[in-house]
Amino acid sequence: MDNLIKQIEAWSVTRHLDEQPSKNQLLKLVEEVGELVAAHNKQRKAEVIDSVGDILVVLTIYCQQRGLSIEDCLETAYEEISGRKGRLVDGVFVKEADLNDD
């Protein structure tokens, strides 16, 4: 994975994406998520795989632009959720603090 991240970052440098405003990557991210939703809804596995990959590329470049490490971001998120308590609500995990047991 580390090698892939370095290749993506090098690819973005050769295309000067690393120098662009990070908001552009956020807009691209929304586009790619929309494509993932469409592929999911149509049950097109190859398109789902492509969309997930595109999302990871966009997030990698966004992190690069912001001086962040995508690995550190993922590790931080895992550390936050690893001990989280909650329950499934309609098939979605909802953390304990967000549950409303009225």
What is the dihedral sign for C-alpha 28, 34, 36, 39? Answer: negative
Stated pTM of the model: 0.88
- Which stretches in the chain have pLDDT values below 50? none
Burial of 12 (0-12, 13-18, 19+ CB in 10 A): buried
**In the chain, where does DSSP find H-type helix?**
2-14, 22-41, 45-66, 70-81
Angle between helices 2-14 and 45-66 (to 10 degrees): 70
pLDDT tens digits for 9-34? 999 999 999 999 999 999 999 999 99
